[in-house]
Amino acid sequence: MAASRTIVLGSTSAYRRSLLERLQLSFEAASPRVAEDRLPEETPHALAERLARAKAADVASRYPDALVIGSDQSAGVGQRILSKPGNHQRAAEQLAALSGQSVVFHTGLCLIDGRSGREWIGVEPYTVHMREFDDDEIERYLRLDRPYDCSGSFKSEGLGACLFRRMEGDDPTALVGLPLIRLCAWLREAGVILPSHST
C-alpha cells in the first residue's frame, strides 16, 4: 500500500524540510550530489527544472523503491539570474538593484516513483513586485533579517514583506522553495493519501 512507501526529500534545505513537514507525512532527507552551475544561455525556468530533476534522479538512484522529491529554485529579473548573496555587502548591492523591480521565482519540482519509474516534473512561477526603497531601509532590513542564504537577498517568510508592493502567483509555498499544492496533487497520483491517516 502507498501508506508504507518511503518518501525522500532530495534536499538538505531547512526551508524545504519545514514546508514538507506541513503535510504531516513521515519522510527522510538526503543530500543530492548535483553540480548547480548554470549552463550557457540557460533561462531561470530551464535551470530550475533541470536541477530539480537532476536532484531527484540522483537521490532516487540511492532509494530505488521510494518516492523521491527534488526541487530547485532560481530567481530572475528578466533572464538575469539572482544569486544567494552570501554576505552583507553583496546583499545590499542586490537589493539596491531590485528596488522597484519585479522578481520572478521559478521553483522546479520533480517527483520520481522509483518503484514504477514514473516521473512528474514542472516549474511553478511566483512573482514578487518590489516597492522602491532606499539604502537606509536596505541596511535596516539586512541587519534584522540577515537573508544572506536567500536568492534575491530577502526572506518572504520574514521581514522581506516590508519590501514588497505585491505578490502574484498560484502557490505561495513555491516562493519559499517547495510548491506544496502541486506536490500534493502528484503524491495523490502516486497513491499517497492526503491528508494522511492519523497515527
Pairing of strands 119-130, 164-169: antiparallel
Helix (H, G, I), strand (E, B) or coil at 11: coil
Q: Contact 177/124 with Cβ under 8 angstroms?
A: no
Residue 71 C-alpha cell reads as 526541487
DSSP-assigned letters across all residues of 89-154: HHHHHHHHHHTT-EEEEEEEEEEEETTT--EEEEEEEEEEEE----HHHHHHHHHHH--TTSTTS-
Selected catalytic residue, list 37, 65, 72, 170: 72
Which alpha helices (DSSP H) does 41-87 contain, by range? 44-60
Q: Is 72 part of the annotated catalytic residue set?
A: yes
How far apart are the C-alpha atoms of 118 and 122, rounded to whole Å? 14
Of the candidates 86, 60, 68, the one whose C-alpha atom is nearest the C-alpha of residue 142 is 86
Active site residues: 72
